[in-house]
Amino acid sequence: MFLKSPPALVLASTSRYRQRLLARVHDSFQCAAPGIDETRLDREGGIALVGRLALAKARAVAAQYPEAYVIGSDQAASLPDGAGGETILGKPGTEARCIEQLRSFSGRTLAFLTAVAVVRKCDDCAIEFVDTTRVAFRLLDEATIARYVARESPIDCAGGFKSESLGISLCESIDSADPSALIGLPLIRLCAVLRGVGFQIP
């Protein structure tokens, strides 16, 4: 049953990618910076990391908007290290680091982990889920990587590439239940959650 006057919806993010995604399915929401420490804990796995940070972001903003439903999200790339473990990669931040990340992806398959937490402080509501998208990269030579980074400068994206843009040319395949997840917010499942708490989507 949809709410006649639903509570406010707040995105706990300043990411323009997540803002654009949420705007595709709901046109009335606010954005707020969560301002949390995103440092990975010692020996913390990828799924645990993104899940913890998504919930922490949502809770930080929900403290300011206790009556609202607040969406927190976090994303990281997980690269198998060959010894049964994983290397966790976030936003490269610099072109040099972006080139280094893409070099390590050449001919390999990564798991992109996108966690979402929907929180409402006033009634202690917290709904969490994680989407896993597997991306197989083709063999990438130095010239290809350099051209791509120079043209798209994807230094603010987890893994250092944008599947929704030129970065798709670096891939051999993408295995995903939700194509929007790789961009930063899994809209299919998020819409189901929002409908479940009373938002009318569409």
Beta bridge partners, 74, equal: 115
| Joined tokens for residue 62 | 């929900």
- Give the distance between the most distant pair of CA atoms in the chain: 56
C-beta of residue 75 within 8 angstroms of C-beta of residue 176: no
Pairing mode of beta strands 9-11, 30-31: parallel
For residues 50 and 114, give the distance between their C-alpha atoms in angstroms, rounded to a whole number: 7
Task: Please report, as a single letter, which amino acid is at residue 45.
Answer: G
Annotated catalytic, 131? no
C-beta of residue 115 within 8 angstroms of C-beta of residue 68: no
The position carrying tokens 């010894």 is: 83
Q: Which of 37, 42, 74, 81 is labelled catalytic?
A: 74
The catalytic residue positions are 74
